[in-house]
Structure formats: C-alpha cells, structure tokens
Amino acid sequence: MKKTIFAAFAILALVFSSCVKDETYPFASISKVTGTTPIAGEEAVVTATISALVDVAVNLIYIAGNGLPQTVAMTGSGDTYTGKIPAQPVGANVTYYVEATTAAGTVKSAETSYVVAEKPAEPKTIFINEVNCGTKQFEIYNGSDKAVDIAGYVFKKDGSGDWEVPAGKGNIPAKGFLVFTAKNPDPAEGPSFGISGTKGFILTMLKNGEVVDEIDNSVTAETFKTVEDGWTLSRKTDGADEWVLVEGGTIGYSNGAEPVVEIKLFINEVNCGSKQFEIYNGSSKEVDIAGYVFQKDKSGDWEVPAGKGTIPAKGFLVFTAKNPDINEGPGFGISGTKGFILTLLKGGEIVDEIDNSATAETFKTVADGESLGRKKDGDAEWVLFSTPSIGETNANGVIKQ
C-alpha cells in the first residue's frame, strides 16, 4: 500500500513539473544615451542602447523651448537605436529623453539638454593684401592650404565700377598671390577704374554680392595714408589687420619678404671746370654700381672698378674725369663750352643720360666755377648752379639767375 501511494505522488510531481514554464523578463532597459550638440541648421542625432527579451518600441521624446513634447520613432540596428531631432533656431534650449515600451510597460532614460549655437563664421582666407597706386597694381592673397579660383568675384572702387574676374583669370595657389592691374584697357586683365594714392580709394572684393574683403583708404578715413609712387599700401604681414606703407613693396609675393626697392640712379650734377660728375642714389637702399659703364659722347667706355661703386641710400658718389688713374675715373674729359653727352649704362642698357651737347636745344654753356645740375636731386629739370653742390644735395647749390 505504501509503495502504491509513493508511486502516485511521484507521478503527480512529474505532471506538475511538466506544466511550469520559465518566466521571461518583460521590461526593456536603456543605457548609453548619447547625442550630438548641433549648431544652427543642423539636426541632433541621438543614440541609445536598448536591451529587451520581448518586443519593444523605442521613441525619442524632445521639447524645444516652451513647446509641447514631440515624439520621434527611433530605428534599431541590433541593440543600438537612433533618432533625430529636427534643426532648431539659434538659442533654443532642447530637452530630450528616450522611452522603451513593451507589453509590460514603459521605461525612460534620464533627461539631457542642449542649446543650439550659432554657426561659426568660416575663417577668412582671401584678402586684398597690397596696393601699388603708382603701377595701379593690387594683390590678392590666398591664406588657405588649398588652391582657390576667384573667377566670378567682383571688384569695386569707391562702391562702383564693377569688374568681374573672368574665367581662367582667378586661380590662386595655396598660400599664394594673384596680381591685377587697374586702369586697364583690357577687361580680361583688370578693371578700368584707377587707384589714386593721393585722392584715396575704397577697394572692395565681393562674392555673390557679399563683401569678402575691403580696404578703405579714402581721404576721409582716420587711417588714410598717402601712397607715393614707389611705395605700396600693404598689410604688415600676409592677411594681417594692420596696414603699412612699404617702399618698393612686395607685390606678387609675401609681405614678410624683403621689400623690392626700386633702384633709382641719376647723373645728378656735372662740374666741367673740376671735371667732376655726381651720381645720386634716390632709393632707400645702398647700391653698388661697380661694373656699370660711363660713356662720353657714346664712346670712351669706363667701367666702375670693384670697390669704387658704393652709394649709400639717398646718397652721392663723385668721380673725376680726365683721370690718369683709371681706378678713380674715366680718361675722357667733359667740356663746358663744346658740350657733351654723359651716359650711365648697366649691362649695355642706359640707366641715365644727360645730353648737353652743343646741338641740343637745351644746351647750356657751363663756365668754370659753375655746374650743370638737376634742379632737385633726381629731378627732370636741369639748371646752372653758380655755386655747385658736388657730393651733396642739390638743395645746397645756388641756382644761377
């Protein structure tokens, strides 16, 4: 009997155990909620890791400013779900959280928020970099690390006179330069407007009607600078804010480079009595004219020896003609009554010349004790000085009345 009862209990236990199933956890869990912080015009991308053993619906809930809650369905790839919050206006405070819903109920993540920032301005890379009013040239600098093409950009002078850079004429290499010449008869090469160094100017560069860069050197500007011939108005370094005057300038290459000083050499004064003639260096840079050649009446070449041709900036160098020592001066003479043509050449090219030959319309007899000189150092007009100033500025001479 006992055996029968025990067997019955065993059978009942087996039956009950076969009827009980394992329980499945019915809720989802949320972790690793991350989102981008957008700027104006951008949407925010939110991701979350969702763990669930049952069917789950995942939503992104967001509130922008004082608005009502908005729901965005999130899409899953494995256990990673993604949703996007549409672009919101600058300054909007956006709060969001993630909901995961199963048949058993809904769980929520902690709230996260962000403020929509303005889109940062793109760094300025294209500059009007230097202007030479004398040669009417202006230089554009590309400060970026890649080549750019400014074809289609428009230049204005004083707000008018539009000139559009033609196709094929606007290429600027990375960290490179492009030079245009104003007052140009060919619109394919440059604008027709001029650039005055004394009257001033406003030079503007535009793209699609928007100002890319501008230099205001109008006479009413507090920073107005008179730009004399031989000088340029230049950014202190490429793309810098400060504008300075540079003698010679660096049109076509870096503003940090050594300025290209134009060498200005003049036969400045001749004293026929003492047979002396003076050379004036009108530039701001010391010059060595060793190797230059002097001629009288187009012949009798005398080459300036090494070590004898140094002329300081804005300074003078004097040679004596009819010289027995060819290391000190030429063998030819200079007559104040018969006249002469005195020529200075470099590499066969004329650097300067004074024609006071007897057949010249401007011929002047130069008596002993007088000199024939430029009215001012480097000036075009020649006058007679009753008191010469050989070896020094012609301003110290006394003009013959």
Residue 339: give its domain's CATH number. Answer: 2.60.40.1260
Q: What is the pLDDT of residue 248?
A: 85
User: Is residue 132 domain-shared with residue 178, that is, in the same domain?
Assistant: yes
The pairing of beta strand 371-374 with beta strand 200-207: unpaired
List the domain range (segments joined by +) for residue 279.
Answer: 265-399
Kindly state whether residue 345 falls inside one of the protein's structural domains. yes
Instruction: Show Cβ contacts of residue 172 under 8 Å, excluding neighbours closer than 6 positions.
Output: 126, 140, 141, 142, 147, 148, 149, 150, 178
* Amino acid letter for position 372: L
User: Is residue 235 domain-shared with residue 314, that is, in the same domain?
Assistant: no
* Amino acid letter for position 128: I
* Amino acid letter for position 40: A
Kindly state whether residue 254 falls inside one of the protein's structural domains. no
Q: What is the pLDDT of residue 74?
A: 97
User: Is residue 110 domain-shared with residue 130, that is, in the same domain?
Assistant: no
Residue 42: give its domain's CATH number. Answer: 2.60.40.10
- Best CA proximity match to 109, nearest among 92, 125, 94, 97: 97
Question: Residue 22 and residue 297: Cα distance in Å, rounded?
Answer: 122
pLDDT surpasses 60 at 3: no
- Best CA proximity match to 126, nearest among 159, 165, 75: 165
Give start and end residues of each alpha helix (H) in 44-129.
none
Domain stop point among 194, 215, 247: 247
| CA distance readout (Å), 226 to 185, 231, 236, 296 | 25, 10, 16, 40
Kindly state whether residue 276 falls inside one of the protein's structural domains. yes
User: Is residue 145 domain-shared with residue 224, that is, in the same domain?
Assistant: yes
Question: Residue 205 and residue 213: Cα distance in Å, rounded?
Answer: 5
pLDDT surpasses 70 at 10: no
Q: What is the pLDDT of residue 21?
A: 52
Q: What is the pLDDT of residue 317?
A: 97
pLDDT surpasses 60 at 37: yes
Domain stop point among 115, 149, 183: 115
Kindly state whether residue 11 falls inside one of the protein's structural domains. no
User: Which two structure tokens, joined as six digits, stand for 310?
Assistant: 């140094």
- Regarding predicted confidence, which is higher, 120 or 97? 97
* pLDDT tens-digit map of 149-205: 999 999 999 999 999 999 999 999 999 999 999 999 999 999 999 999 999 999 999
Kindly state whether residue 391 falls inside one of the protein's structural domains. yes
pLDDT surpasses 60 at 124: yes
The phi and psi torsions of 276 (rounded to 5 degrees) equal -95, 145
- 300 membership: H or E segment, kind and range: strand 299-303
Q: What is the pLDDT of residue 365?
A: 97
User: Is residue 150 domain-shared with residue 215, that is, in the same domain?
Assistant: yes
User: Is residue 149 domain-shared with residue 216, that is, in the same domain?
Assistant: yes
Average confidence (pLDDT) over 303-332: 96
User: Is residue 243 domain-shared with residue 273, that is, in the same domain?
Assistant: no
pLDDT surpasses 90 at 57: yes
Sign of the Cα pseudo-torsion (103, 104, 105, 109, in order)? negative
Average confidence (pLDDT) over 118-132: 90
Average confidence (pLDDT) over 73-90: 96
Kindly state whether residue 203 falls inside one of the protein's structural domains. yes
User: Is residue 99 domain-shared with residue 153, that is, in the same domain?
Assistant: no
Q: Which of 14-18, 165-169, 206-210, 376-380 has the lowest mean pLDDT?
A: 14-18
Q: What is the pLDDT of residue 23?
A: 78
Specify the 3-state DSSP secondary structure of 14.
helix
User: Is residue 71 domain-shared with residue 140, that is, in the same domain?
Assistant: no
8 A C-beta contact, residue 395 and residue 383: no
Confidence of residue 18 (pLDDT cuts 50, 70, 90): very low
User: Which two structure tokens, joined as six digits, stand for 20?
Assistant: 């009980």
Q: What is the pLDDT of residue 260?
A: 67
Looking at 11-153, which runs of residues are DSSP E strands? 29-35, 44-51, 57-64, 70-73, 75-77, 80-85, 93-102, 105-108, 112-115, 126-132, 137-142, 148-149
Question: Residue 151 and residue 371: Cα distance in Å, rounded?
Answer: 57
Question: Residue 59 and residue 68: Cα distance in Å, rounded?
Answer: 16
Sign of the Cα pseudo-torsion (196, 198, 199, 203, in order)? positive
Mean per-residue pLDDT of the chain: 92
Q: What is the pTM (predicted TM-score) of this model? A: 0.49
Average confidence (pLDDT) over 106-114: 96
User: Is residue 204 domain-shared with residue 290, that is, in the same domain?
Assistant: no
Q: What is the pLDDT of residue 230?
A: 86
Kindly state whether residue 4 falls inside one of the protein's structural domains. no
Confidence of residue 122 (pLDDT cuts 50, 70, 90): confident
User: Is residue 105 domain-shared with residue 132, that is, in the same domain?
Assistant: no
Question: Residue 11 and residue 14: Cα distance in Å, rounded?
Answer: 5
Confidence of residue 7 (pLDDT cuts 50, 70, 90): very low
Instruction: Show Cβ contacts of residue 317 under 8 Å, excluding neighbours closer than 6 positions.
Output: 278, 279, 281, 289, 309, 310, 311
Q: What is the pLDDT of residue 144?
A: 94
Kindly state whether residue 176 falls inside one of the protein's structural domains. yes
Domain stop point among 80, 115, 150: 115
User: Is residue 197 domain-shared with residue 289, that is, in the same domain?
Assistant: no
Percent of the chain residues topping a pLDDT of 90: 87
Specify the 3-state DSSP secondary structure of 49.
strand
pLDDT surpasses 70 at 4: no
Total domains present in the chain: 3
pLDDT surpasses 90 at 279: yes
